[in-house]
């Protein structure tokens, strides 16, 4: 499967090193991908009308390695396979919250249709309110951030309709990174498959390197009889 997928140019990432952020790479292990699942996800998302750029190798940054470190600590090798999914939130045009939300729903369908039993976590990463340059550098908006966390749980479809301009006005130029959280939320089965979700952990803190930091861990409880609900 790996060789066939590689020849077709449709494997996502098989491995990736930490690229650093100005001060050099963080001293953490490189990631190990899951080419078979990645290829399956790619095929499924393309059929769902999402145009992907596929890569065999990809450098990753703090947006992935910091969450891995928080979860697993100081290790010589990450104890899980990782499929990095890069979303453009730097160069105009960036995807809307609605498109990211739809992508998450398509991602759930892709994972559920994979024919091997796996436990899968979907992470949406990106800073909360922050701005790194210009007259508003250092901007933090606690109220907006916490309202975002509330709506992400209770009203994700409504939150997905928030326009880009509101992110920039209320959460700073880098606050647009939050649209990536909508991908993870869209992957929960309470939206389409009649399941339920449970908030296991919520955390918010400022400042962290001039950035608001939030954590939200949501556990999926799929409805029995659905692909994700089968033992």
Catalytic residues: 62, 130
What is the distance between the alpha carbons of residues 60 and 84, in angstroms, rounded to a whole number? 8
Smallest Cα–Cα separation from 97: which of 126, 68, 121? 126
What is the distance between the alpha carbons of residues 31 and 69, in angstroms, rounded to a whole number? 12
CA distance readout (Å), 128 to 12, 55, 117, 172, 191: 27, 28, 34, 9, 24
Are 145 and 139 spatial neighbours (Cβ–Cβ below 8 Å)? no
CA distance readout (Å), 228 to 14, 60, 99, 132: 25, 29, 23, 40
Which tokens sit at 228?
């994700």
Find tokens 């608001």 and name the residue: 212
């Amino acid at each position: 499967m790996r060789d066939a997928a590689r020849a077709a140019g449709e494997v996502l990432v098989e491995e990736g090193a930490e690229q650093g952020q100005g001060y050099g790479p963080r001293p953490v292990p490189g990631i190990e991908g899951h080419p078979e699942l990645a290829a399956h996800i790619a095929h499924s998302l393309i059929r769902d009308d999402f145009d992907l750029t596929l890569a065999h190798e990809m450098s990753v940054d703090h947006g992935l390695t910091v969450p891995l470190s928080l979860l697993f600590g100081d290790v010589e090798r990450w104890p899980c396979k990782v499929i990095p999914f890069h979303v453009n939130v730097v160069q105009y045009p960036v995807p809307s919250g609605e498109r990211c939300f739809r992508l998450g729903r398509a991602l759930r369908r892709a994972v559920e249709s994979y024919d091997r039993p796996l436990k899968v976590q979907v992470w949406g990463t990106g800073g909360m309110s922050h701005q790194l340059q210009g007259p508003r550098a250092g901007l933090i908006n606690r109220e907006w951030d916490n309202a975002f966390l509330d709506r992400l749980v209770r009203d994700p479809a409504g939150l997905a309709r928030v326009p880009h301009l509101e992110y920039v006005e209320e959460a700073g130029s880098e606050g647009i990174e939050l649209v990536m959280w909508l991908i993870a939320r869209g992957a929960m089965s309470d939206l389409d498959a009649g399941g339920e979700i449970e908030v296991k952990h919520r955390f918010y803190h400022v400042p962290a390197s001039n950035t608001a930091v939030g954590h939200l861990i949501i556990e999926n409880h799929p409805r029995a009889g659905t692909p994700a609900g089968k033992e």
